[in-house]
Amino acid sequence: MKTQWTTFTHVFVTSWMLVAVNPGYLSVNASYRYLCDSPIYCPGPFLEKIQLNRVFNDSKTFVDMPTLKPLEEVIAAFSRIPQNASRDTLLDFISTYFGSEGQELVPATLDHFPYHPSFLQKIRSPILYEFAIRVHNYWPNLARKVDQSFMCAGCVSSFIPMNRSFVIPGGRFREIYYWDSYFVIEGLLVSELYGVAKDMILNFLDFVETYGFVPNGSRIYYLNRSQPPLLVQMVKIYYQATNDTSLLFHAFPTLIKEYNFWRQNTSIHVTSPKSQKRYTLNRYIVHNISPRPESYFEDYETVELAT
Ligand SMILES: *[C@@H]1O[C@H](CO)[C@@H](O)[C@H](O)[C@H]1NC(C)=O
Ligand SMILES: *[C@@H]1O[C@H](CO)[C@@H](O)[C@H](O)[C@H]1NC(C)=O
Ligand SMILES: *[C@@H]1O[C@H](CO)[C@@H](O)[C@H](O)[C@H]1NC(C)=O
Ligand SMILES: *[C@@H]1O[C@H](CO)[C@@H](O)[C@H](O)[C@H]1NC(C)=O
Ligand SMILES: *[C@@H]1O[C@H](CO)[C@@H](O)[C@H](O)[C@H]1NC(C)=O
Ligand SMILES: *[C@@H]1O[C@H](CO)[C@@H](O)[C@H](O)[C@H]1NC(C)=O
Ligand SMILES: *[C@@H]1O[C@H](CO)[C@@H](O)[C@H](O)[C@H]1NC(C)=O
Ligand SMILES: *[C@@H]1O[C@H](CO)[C@@H](O)[C@H](O)[C@H]1NC(C)=O
């Protein structure tokens, strides 16, 4: 994967260098649909107030908390908070109106968990064997599914629902991530956990059908950012491990859709000043003009310190 990462970095850096050197030779397509429109979880007065007062050490905590009251009620209560409210007042407000972060997720059972996958038999060194079996047995701790049944009518959350189970990176990363999942799936396949690997791919295909691309992660604040596109490779390694042609047939039209997104929505035309030949460069790029909701305070501070 080192090579692919290098390629992405290279394309990214190259496209910026071109912009810096000679903007006249470029035509840019920056058509991203604006989708982060929640008055709570997307940039706006609400988020700014909570995040810049640093109610939580990690900005991601707040944006991962579902409401416990209908949206209108939460907004109305927020409007009654005085301008100069202290951090404690804000914390009181949050504990009244919001549930705990990541509450929409519950552990998922991994069906047919193989206790002795065949890769273990190939390991000679007892130390490596011990290590491998611990990694293998860790999967059930990271398997999740969505359960929003606790939410009231009108309650909102930043989570993008998925129909199938998945594996999360863990820690503050309580949701499914796009390119992380490629590496997760590589591991799941080695562990012979084919069912959840397939479920993850099907979730991503649903994202492409719904949003036109795969967001950075399954939260609405990631809806205008993708990650290095590895869905095709996920399907490829899954197929190589299983010979499951039905998934190939199902995935193919959707993979074309994803590719069209990278071609049409994030690419640029570059004209060579020497040959006048016109090239299309598909870029991994984000069009973002405000602090990332999940790192709001951190981004704000970075900019403040730099200016
Ligand atoms: C891509 O661009 C097209 C045309 O500009 C637009 O209609 C579409 O919504 C964009 N797709 C996404 C996912 O932003
Ligand atoms: C993308 O989302 C961020 C955060 O939600 C927002 O600040 C930004 O304006 C959005 N960008 C576009 C092009 O919609
Ligand atoms: C934030 O971090 C500080 C020091 O690391 C700790 O004392 C404090 O309890 C933390 N606050 C929260 C809300 O987690
Ligand atoms: C906020 O301002 C009001 C007057 O505008 C004042 O009475 C109150 O004590 C202030 N509260 C805090 C927490 O500073
Ligand atoms: C989940 O399944 C339901 C019922 O089949 C369907 O309507 C919905 O679109 C699916 N959700 C996603 C994210 O694809
Ligand atoms: C994707 O999400 C991760 C985790 O929050 C974040 O560190 C990264 O900046 C995001 N990518 C983009 C392009 O915003
Ligand atoms: C997939 O099919 C090929 C060709 O028939 C075969 O060589 C390979 O062993 C199969 N792999 C699996 C995982 O079934
Ligand atoms: C920009 O988008 C338009 C409409 O989707 C498309 O015709 C054009 O080829 C795109 N330009 C690039 C550089 O991809």
92 domain residue, yes or no: yes
| Nearest ligand to the C-alpha atom of residue 282 | 8
Mean pLDDT in residue range 261-276:
91
CA of 76 to the centre of ligand 3 (A): 29
Sign of CA dihedral 95, 98, 101, 104: positive
26 domain residue, yes or no: no
43 domain residue, yes or no: yes
151 domain residue, yes or no: no
Bridge partners of residue 278, in order along the sequence: 271
Return the HEC string of 27-95.
EECCCCCCCCCCCCCCCCHHHHHHHHCCCCCCHHHHHCCCECCCHHHHHHHHHCCCCCCCHHHHHHHHH
Across the chain, the runs of DSSP E, i.e. the strands, are: 26-28, 105-107, 143-146, 166-167, 267-271, 278-282
Report the pLDDT value the prediction gives residue 306, as an integer from 0 to 100. 87
Ligand 7 residue neighbourhood (C-beta within 6 Å): 241-243
214, 252: one domain:
yes
Ligand 1 residue neighbourhood (C-beta within 6 Å): 31-33, 211-213, 261, 264-265
Over 70: is that where the pLDDT of 17 sits? no
135, 249: one domain:
yes
Which of 42, 225, 266, 302 has most ligand 6 atoms within 8 Å of CB, for mutation? Answer: 225
Structural domain of residue 97, as residue ranges? Answer: 32-63+65-102+267-300
253 domain residue, yes or no: yes
Over 90: is that where the pLDDT of 167 sits? yes
244, 234: one domain:
yes
Ligand 6 contact, 294 CB (< 6 A): yes
Report the pLDDT value the prediction gives residue 289, as an integer from 0 to 100. 77
Ligand 3 contact, 57 CB (< 6 A): yes
Over 60: is that where the pLDDT of 12 sits? no
CA of 23 to the centre of ligand 2 (A): 23
User: Domain total for the chain?
Assistant: 2
Of 196, 211, 222, 225, residue with least CA distance to 285: 225
Question: Structure tokens of 191?
Answer: 């562990």
Q: What is the pLDDT of residues 179-202, one digit of tens each?
A: 999 999 999 999 999 999 999 999
277, 220: one domain:
no
| Residue-averaged pLDDT of the chain | 89
Over 70: is that where the pLDDT of 305 sits? yes
239, 116: one domain:
yes
Of 191, 226, 167, 182, residue with least CA distance to 35: 226
Bridge partners of residue 143, in order along the sequence: 167
What is the spatial distance between Cα 95 and Cα 40, in angstroms, rounded to a whole number? 15
73, 116: one domain:
no
Read off the pTM.
0.85
Ligand 6 contact, 225 CB (< 6 A): yes
| Nearest ligand to the C-alpha atom of residue 36 | 2
CA of 213 to the centre of ligand 1 (A): 10
Q: What is the pLDDT of residues 211-268, one digit of tens each?
A: 999 999 999 999 888 999 999 999 999 999 999 999 999 999 999 999 999 998 888 8
Ligand 8 residue neighbourhood (C-beta within 6 Å): 27, 29, 263-264, 267-269, 280
142, 249: one domain:
yes
Mean pLDDT in residue range 89-100:
97
Which of 162, 163, 219 has most ligand 5 atoms within 8 Å of CB, for mutation? Answer: 163
Q: Residue 151's CB: how many other CB atoms inside 10 A?
A: 18
Question: Structure tokens of 275?
Answer: 């040959």
Q: Residue 128's CB: how many other CB atoms inside 10 A?
A: 11
Which of 57, 58, 98 has most ligand 3 atoms within 8 Å of CB, for mutation? Answer: 57
Which of 32, 210, 265, 287 has most ligand 1 atoms within 8 Å of CB, for mutation? Answer: 265
244, 201: one domain:
yes
306 domain residue, yes or no: no
6, 122: one domain:
yes
141, 197: one domain:
yes
Query: Interhelix angle for 194-211 vs 231-242, to 10°?
Result: 150
134, 256: one domain:
yes
Which has more confidence, 7 or 305? 305
| Nearest ligand to the C-alpha atom of residue 85 | 4
